[in-house]
Amino acid sequence: MAKALTATAALTALAVFRLGRVVLGTIGLWQLLGPVWAVAGLAALILLRFTLPVRIGVVLAAVYLWSLPWMAALLARLRHPRPVWRGIDSAST
């Protein structure tokens, strides 16, 4: 029961994080490039699974709306690499 609850909580947190990233990217595109680019970027993500426009929107939002340094916004992925997930069953062994 605890493993299932942990997995559900982790997947929910991941879904919220990814949805927040999409929202932030869309807001960044909307504010800085206009609504046409925001809708096009969101459509490209949903229909084609092409994430580059939304990623650019996240960087733009982080730099211009949150006033983060552009290098930190651009290299955040290198500073925090993706974790290596082993799965719930293999993690306990």
What are the domain boundaries of the chain? Answer: 2-79
User: Cα–Cα distance between 29 and 19 in angstroms, integer?
Assistant: 15
pLDDT digits (tens, 9 = 90+) for 18-70: 999 999 999 999 999 999 999 999 999 999 999 999 999 998 898 888 887 87
Q: Which pLDDT does position 69 carry in this prediction?
A: 80
Higher-scoring residue by pLDDT: 79, 61? 61
The pTM (predicted TM-score) of the whole model is 0.70
CA dihedral 62, 65, 66, 70 (to 10 degrees): 40
Higher pLDDT, 4 or 90: 4
Contact between 18 and 12 under an 8 Å Cβ cutoff? The reply is no
- Three-state SS at 34: coil
